[in-house]
Structure 1
Amino acid sequence: MRWGLLPSWWKKPLSELPSTFNARAEKVGEKPMFRSALKSRRSVIPASGFYEWTGKAGSKTPHNFSAPSCAPLAFAGLWETWRDPESDARVDSATIIVGPANEWMSRFHDRMPVIIDWNDTNAWLAGGDPGPLLRAPPEDALQEWIVSPRVNRSGVGDNDEALIEQIAAPQFVEAIQS
C-alpha cells in the first residue's frame, strides 16, 4: 500500500495532495480527507515500534518506542482505494491516526500514534463510535531507547535490524552527530 491516504474522490494531480500520512484523532471524523474511511475503511496496522527524534535540527537523536513486552503494537489506521483517472490504475493507500501524547510520551513529542489494545481491535474494525478508542495509551504502554542516527537516512538500509538496537553510550550518539 501507498503510505499516505489517497481519498477515492481525489481528482487533482498527486503532487497537489496534502500530507496524509497521519490523521489527527481530534478531527479525523470532520475532515473530508479522512471522514469516509473512518466510517467504513478502518484498519489495524501492526508495528514492532516507531521512532521519534529529540534535539536541535541537524543533530537530532532518534528514539525507538515499543511495547515493554516487545509484542506488536496495534495502530489505529484507515485505508482507501483510488483509481488514477488517466491510467485507471488502482492505488491502495493507508494512514495511521495520531493523537495527543500521554504524559510519559510528552517528554519526546507532543503527539503519538493511537495504539489500540489488541482486545479492542474488533470493536475498532466494526466501525462503531471511535471516540472511546481514539485515546492515548496508559503511561506504561511503551518503552524507549536511543538508537543509531543511521535511522535518519531514509531509504538507506531501512530493513536493517540493527537500526532498532540500543546505543550503549549516549556520548557515542553525540560524537556521531557532530
Structure 2
Amino acid sequence: MCGFIYNVNDFPLLEPLLDIAGYDEAEIRDIIRNRYLRPTDTVINLIPSRTGPRLLGATWWLATRADGSIDNRYNTFNAKAGKLTTSPMHTQHPRSIRSVVPAQGFCEWQPVYKGGRLYSQLPGQPKPSALPKPERKIQHLITQPDEGLMLLAAVSKLRLDEQGNPKVNTAVITLPPHQAFQDVHHKSFPLVLRPEELTRWLDPKQPWSEFDDLLNLDWFRDAFIARPVDAQCQPINNEFLKFEPDVE
C-alpha cells in the first residue's frame, strides 16, 4: 500500500467491532472525522488487551525512536507478510502483535508509462530499479462491492508514555501483488481479514504459524472494486474494475 486509507466515517459501519471491543467514543469520533488517512496519521486500531479487544487510536507508522517519535529512516507503514517472524523490526522489544485497521477501502497510485502503457504492458515487467520514468499516475479507490467495512490485517507495537498511557504504532500487513491487480498496484496487496477470523487473529496465544495460509495468500478470496479517482478521491468517470474471487 502506497496511497492512503479510505477511513470509516460513521459509527454504524463500526458496529460489528463496537459490539466486541472496548473503546473511547470521543477518541473514535475524532478519528472518523478524517476521511483520508495517510502514513503517520492516526488510524483506528483494533488490538488485543488483558480485558479483551479494544479500539484505540494508533499512529500509522510502526518504527519509533527512544522518545516515541516517528523513526522515518525506513518506511514502516506497511509490514511484509513474509518478514513478520524474522525481521528485528517485529521481534525486538516491544514485539509486534497482531491487530486490525478497520477501513472502508484504500487508495493506490499506479504509474502510466510512455505510450500510455501500464505495468503489465512493459516488456518483461522489469524490476522497480529498471522501470522507465512514468508520464503520469492514476489513482484508484479500492473497496468491497458493498463498500462495507474492510478489515485490514495489521501489526502493532504498544508502548506506555511517561504518564502510563498507551501509545500505539501500527503497520498494515501486505502480501505480494496479485497478477490481476498489477495495473492498479504492482508492488503489493493488503491482507484483508474476514469477520469470522477476528477472534483467532486477535488471540495472542495463537502462534504465527497458525496463520501461515493467510500470510501466504496469492489469490483473491473475496471480490474487490477499483475505481479511478482524482486527488480528492472523487470518481473521474463511471468505469471500474471488478476483481472476482479466485477459485479456492
Structures share a fold, TM > 0.5?
yes
Instruction: Say whether 1:46 aligns with 2:123.
Output: no
How far apart are 1:37 and its partner, in Å? 8.7
Residue identity over aligned pairs, in percent, reads 24
1:21 Cα deviation from its structure 2 partner = 0.5
Q: CA RMSD in A?
A: 3.1
User: CA separation in 2, counterparts of 1:26 and 1:104?
Assistant: 21
- Is the Cα–Cα contact under 8 Å of residues 61 and 76 in structure 2 kept in the other structure? yes
Shift of 1:101: 2.0
1:83, CA displacement in angstroms?
5.2
Does the CA contact (< 8 Å) of 1:115 and 1:136 recur in 2? no
Task: Judge which range, 53-62 or 105-114, deviates more.
Answer: 53-62
- Aligned residue among 87, 98, 103 for 2:179: 103
Q: Structure 1: 5+ residue runs without aligned partners? A: 152-162, 171-178
**Shift in Å, 1:20:** 0.9
| 2:193 aligned residue (102, 116, 131) | 116
- Please list the CA deviations of residues 43-77 of structure 1 after superposition, one character each: whole Å capped at 9, or x if unmatched: 11111111111224462110111111211111111
2:235 to 147, 155, 166: 166
Q: Which has the higher contact order (CA 8 A, sep 6+)?
A: 1
Are 1:77 and 2:154 counterparts?
Answer: yes
Q: Name the SS of the counterpart of 1:54 in structure 2.
A: strand
Q: Are the aligned partners of 1:67 and 1:73 in contact in 2 as well (CA < 8 Å)?
A: yes
Unaligned ranges ≥5, structure 2? 1-57, 113-133, 240-248
Q: Deviations over 1:74-128 (max 9, x none)?
A: 111111123579x998632111100112232223223111111222121211242
Normalised TM-score (structure 1): 0.71
Change in 2 beyond 3 A, CA 1:131/1:106:
same
Q: Distance in 1 between matches of 2:219 and 2:108?
A: 17
Shift of 1:141: 2.1
| Aligned counterpart, 1:159 | none
Letter in 1 for 2:108: E
Using the TM superposition, give the Cα deviation of residue 137 of structure 1 relative to its aligned residue in structure 2, in angstroms.
5.3
Task: Please give the alpha-carbon distance, in whole angstroms, between the structure 2 residues aligned to 1:90 and 1:124.
Answer: 21
Calculate the TM-score normalised by the size of structure 2: 0.53
The list of structure 1 runs, each at least 4 consecutive aligned residues, that deviate by more than 4 angstroms after superposition, is 12-17, 36-40, 87-90
2:42 aligns with none
Q: Give yes or no for contact 1:22–1:96 (8 Å, CA) kept in 2.
A: yes
